[in-house]
Structures are given as structure tokens and as C-alpha cells.
Amino acid sequence: MYKLLALFLLAFVYVQVDTVAQQKILTDAVERAQREGFSGVILVAQDGEILFEDALGLRAYENRSLLHEDDIFELASLSKQFTAMMIMMCKEKGLLDFDDQVSKYIENPYPGITIRNLLTHTSGLPDYQAIMDEHWDKSKVAGNPEILKYLREYAPVKSFDPGEQYEYSNTGYVFLASIVEKATGKDFVELMREWIFQPLGMYDTDIRSLEEKAKVETFAAGHLKDENGKYVNAATFHSDDYTIWLGNRKGPGRVSSNAKDLLKWDQALYTEKLVSKETMEEAYTAFKLNNGTRSYYGFGWEIKPQSPFGKMVMHTGSNPGYSTIIVRYLEENKTIIILNNNVHPDLMRVVEAATLSLGKW
């Protein structure tokens, strides 16, 4: 679905229409999504000012509680942009360099991989979840030390040599969080609060345990359809089990937040509150593969050099019951954030409508 979205955004040609008509494109798409059962929060902004925000559907289908605009969602892989930022901040503090060998910080059976390879999904590392699924005692909860131990112990074959190609890698972002801990001597979760969430006033954003999430009244549960086509809590599905027995992993996911906090994050990236503009430009530059061609991924961001509004960076996330996306048009400071808690197919259609609507408000 998201590859199709990327192609749409890359190929889209902007057509000038009047303000009311452009706004109606989005409101019509949202109304259609609501009729078809979409559940989530939609936010569209220009220069940090919210132009459109709405909450549709239910926080929990079990008790029919309504979603609100400030409700908190599991971000899934949107978390990777925060992990990448932690590495960038470590670099600016002189604690590491992007072209350092991973083996300088953590023992692993895969030589020749740099931190830059991890950031850009060009490491060739195998999938940690497959190894853990096969060998881990699922009555216990694993985190990064256990994941790294099992990768060393079983040493599954790498996919390719570092820099040869792009292949999305959750394993690489486990490594990155572990490198942050090695370089700083501090816990990754605590450090992310100290370095990012608290300074930016992202008070609804955190890396929460299952127990902590259960205590947050405004946490939107993820939902999937059962065999009868009825939405039920995704935690009841076998596909969600890994979120428990891999519940202490850090780096590739597990950040939870709401749309307004993500807008604070978005706007902070235009400033030098966290890192310099030069470092952010590196983050927005697609990696050059060994054969000289460009991939389409920087440091925690998919890169689209051309779009209706100039250069665009984006990321999607997917967990059982959740689909999330942030789209940022850098040259015009336009932002689209959608957090969905029932994996609804209308998400892409709403993003397309939001893009069309952004031409003139």
C-alpha cells in the first residue's frame, strides 16, 4: 500500500483550484473514510499551524469509547526517526561517527557494517525476529541484549554485503539503540526522554511498557477484524504475540505518541534545537550504494526528491492493529500526520486527498 502511495506522491501534478474546492477534497475523503469505518486521527498543518484535525472512530471497540484528537497511538516504525536522531545527537556530542564500524561498539558476527549502513538499511543484517521466533523461550520477555546474544549464537546468514543494496531492517535499528547505550553508558529509553521528548514538550510521547500503556486512559487500542468481520482488540490475535515476548526491544519501534506531539517534533526538525541543519541535511540525503546509484532512504526517513511541493520525506509504521504515517514537504513546511487504529484501507486515500488540499488554504 505504501509503495503505491509513494509512487502517487512522486508522480502527482498539482492542479490549481480555488481554496474551498481544495478543502472540500479533504473533507469529502474524510467523510467517506468515516462512512467506511476508518478509525484514527488526521492532522494537516502548514508552517506548524493546524489547518485540519479530526478524530474518527473508536478508541476501543469493546466499550465503544470514542477517539479524541489527543489520543495516543502506537507509532510502530515511525519510531525509527527518533532512534536515528539519537545517533545524530551522539555524533554531534563527539561520542561516535556515522562511518564507525559497528564492531567498535557491539560484538556481532557481521564484519564491515558501519553505523551509516544501519541508519540507511544497507547493512545486509538478517531478520532478528525470525531467529528469536525460532529459538526464544516465549514465556520470557526479550530485549536488545538477548536479541544480540541470539544473533551471535546462531549467526544467520546475512542478506548481502554492506552497501550493496537497500533492504529494510528492524535488526539494524536494534543495533543502533544498543550503540547509543554503549556510547553514552545510559539507558536508551531514559536518554530519549531526556534528549528529545522533554526538551520538545512532547509530554504525551514515550516508550511505554505494556503495563504503562494499560494505565494511559487515552491510549487508542489497535484493532483487527476477526473471522466474522468484526473489529476486536489486536492483542487477541496470534500475530500480536511478539509485542509481548519481544516487549523490551529498543530502536525499531515502541514509541507511542499523538498527532500534536508529532507536529511538535516535525517543527523542531526545522530548527537546531536537537542537531545542526547540516546534520539534518545528511539525514535527508539518500544513501549512495556501492554501485553508485542512490537508494531512497536517509537517516530514519524515506526520501522523495520531487513532489508537488518540492523535496518530501516520509515514513510509515505498521503494528498489529495500527497503521501510521507522517509526510513532510520540507521546502514549504507542509505536514500530514495520520494515526490509524484499525488498519483501514482508506488511509492512503486520505493522504492523497490531504496532499491535494494543501495547495492553497
CA distances from residue 171 to 8, 122, 251, 343 in whole angstroms, order as listed: 29, 11, 9, 24
Sign of CA dihedral 237, 243, 246, 251: positive
Q: Check if the beta carbon of residue 41 is closer than 8 Å to that of residue 33.
A: no
List the grid coordinates of 277.
541543519
84 touches 255 (CB < 8 A): no
Instruction: Calculate Rg over the CA atoms of the chain.
Output: 20
- Residues 119 and 80: beta-carbon distance below 8 Å: no
Catalytic option among 77, 178, 307, 323: 77
C-alpha cell at 310: 518540492
Edge-first strand listing for the sheet containing 49-56 = 49-56, 40-46, 334-340, 322-329, 312-319, 302-304
The DSSP bridge pattern shows strands 49-56 and 40-46 to be: antiparallel
360 three-state secondary structure: coil
Active site residue 77: yes
Q: Which residues are catalytic?
A: 77
